[in-house]
Chain A
Amino acid sequence: MSDGKKKYTTVSIPTPLFRKIEKIIEGTGFTSVSSYVTYVLRELIAEHEGEEEPFTKEDEERIKEKLRALGYLD
C-alpha cells in the first residue's frame, strides 16, 4: 500500500448510540460498530450520486439518427 496514506480516520459518535449499535449488530455479519456505520453511511451517500447530466441537443439528435438506422427506433 502507498506509504503515508491513511486508509481510515476517526469519527466521534455519542456513546449511547455506540452501545445501541453494538446490540443491533450482535449475531449479524457486521464485525464491528465501525463496519456497520460505514455500511449505513455508504448507503446514504449513494442516494446523493445525483442525476445524470443531460446530453446536448446535437448529441441527442445524432444518437437518435444512429438508433433509427440500426432499427432501435422507428
Chain B
Amino acid sequence: MVAPHGGKLVERLDFDEKKREEAYEMPRKTIGIDEARDAANIAHGVFSPLEGYMCREDLEHVLEHGRLANDLPWTIPIIMDVSKEEIKDIIEGDELALFYGEMPIAIMNVEEIYPYDKKVYAESVFGTLSAEHPGVSNIMAKKEHLIGGRITLLNDPPTDFQRYKLWPKETRVLFKERGWKSVVGFQTRNAPHAGHEYVQKTALTFVDGLFVNPLIGRKKSGDFKDEVIISAYEALFKHYYPKDTAVLAILETEMRYAGPKEAIFHAIIRKNFGCTHFIVGRDHAGVGKFYGPYDAQEIFYEYPDLGITPLFFRSFFYCKKCGGVVNEKICPHGTEHHINFSGTKIRAMLASGNKPPPIMMRPEVADAILEYEEPFVG
C-alpha cells in the first residue's frame, strides 16, 4: 500500500481519563468546531507528517516554496491563531489545553509563539488579496499571533456523521481487506450529478477501488449542506455503485477555496487515507473567477515527489448525439448538441423544488436532495 506522506502515519492520541483530567488544570484556549476537527485530523494522521500546528519555519517554507521545512510538498498552512490576551500567561515550553466548549480536545506543547503577515499568507495561499475571496476574508479575520507545537488528542470532537467517519488507519485496513492495491480518491463538496458519476466511474475503470470522500465542514453560502451531500451520495451508492468497489466516508475539515494549493493539499490527505490516485477536475477547490479552470491541474507538475498520481479530467457534458456523458476529447459534435452540467443551473432547479432532468442528475439523488426544505448553506 502507498506510504503515508513523509513515510509514517502520525498518531498522537491519549484517550486516558487521567490525561483528560489534567487538561482542566492547564491554561486553556477555547477553539471552534473547525479547529477541533483539524486537531483530530492532525492526531489521527490525516495531515501526516504534521504532528501539531505549524511553527514559523514550516509556515514560511509553505508560503514561500509550497513545501515544509524538510522539503516535503505541503501547500496549506495548518495554524492556530491566538490573541495577545490568550497568550499573556503562556510561554514557549508550556502546555496548553484546547477546549471545544467544556470538552478537552487536545493538549498542545507550546513550541513557538510568533507574529505573521496576513497579506503574505493570502497572496501565497489564495493568490489574491481580494476581500471577496472567502479564504482571504477568513485569514484577515484571524488573530495577530500564531502558536505552534505538537498536540496530543484527548477526545474526538463530536460528529453528526459517525456512520461515515473513518480515519486513515481505518481506511488503510479497509482497502487491504478488500484487496485493493490501487485506490482513486474523489474530493467533493457537492451533491453528485451525472458528471461526477461519470468521472468517478471512468477513474474506477482503471483502479481497484473508489474512495468518495466528501468534505464536511464550514462552507460558503450557496453550497450544499453537509447532510444533503451525504443523503445524495447514499442514494447514488445504493442504486448505482457496486458495493465491493466503492467506499463512501467523510473528511471533516473546512473548505479553504485555495484552488490549486488546496488541490495539492487534498491529494496529500487522500494519500494518507491510502489512495494511490486522486481525481482533479475543472476548477478544483476554486471559487468565483479567482483561478483558471485548469490551474489546479497545472500545479501538480511542480510536485514530482507528491507520491500520489493525479488523474486529470477536462470538462464533461451530456451530448445528445453521442447519447451519453462525454468530454471534449472523445466527442466530435458541436456545442449545440451539448448540455453542460452547470452546478449553478442544477442548484437553481433544486432550489425551486424542481428535479433536474435524469441526464443531469439521477432521479434518486434529486429525490434525496428535495427531501430537505432548505438544501443549501444560508
Contacts and interface: CB of A to CB of B under 8 A. Distances in A.
Interface of A: 1-2, 5, 29, 39-40, 42-43, 45-46, 49-53, 55, 59-60, 63-64, 66-67, 70-73
Contacts of A39: 304
A46 B307 contact: yes
Contacts of A49: 3, 6-7, 307
Contacts of A51: 1, 3
Contacts of A42: 71, 303-305
Given A2-B56, A73-B174, A43 B4 contact: no
Nearest to B249: A72
A52 B304 contact: no
B170 A66 contact: yes
A52 B172 contact: yes
Contact of A53 (B8, B164, B177, B304): B8
A72 B174 CA distance: 8
Interface of B: 1-4, 6-9, 56-57, 60, 64, 71, 163-164, 166, 169-170, 172-174, 177, 247, 301, 303-307
A5 B69 CA distance: 11
B92 to A, nearest CB: 15
Contacts of B9: 52-53
Nearest to A63: B173
Contact of B170 (A29, A46, A67): A67
Given A1-B64, A52-B2, A52-B3, 17 more contacts: A2-B56, A2-B60, A42-B71, A43-B304, A46-B304, A46-B305, A50-B7, A51-B3, A52-B172, A53-B9, A55-B169, A55-B172, A63-B174, A67-B166, A67-B173, A70-B163, A73-B174
Nearest to A5: B57
Contact of A2 (B57, B71, B163, B174): B57
Contacts of A70: 163-164, 166
7 contacts: A5-B57, A43-B304, A46-B304, A46-B306, A55-B173, A63-B170, A72-B247
Contacts of B71: 42
Nearest to A40: B304
A66 B337 CA distance: 49
Nearest to B65: A7
A11 to B, nearest CB: 14
B283 to A, nearest CB: 22
Identify the 7 closest CB pairs spanning chains A and B, nearest first: A46-B305, A43-B304, A42-B305, A63-B173, A49-B3, A52-B3, A50-B7
B1 A52 contact: yes
B60 A1 contact: yes
B3 A50 contact: yes
Contacts of B177: 64, 67, 73
Contacts of B174: 63, 67, 72-73
Q: Which of B1, B166, B304 has the most CB of A within 10 A?
A: B304
Contacts of B306: 46
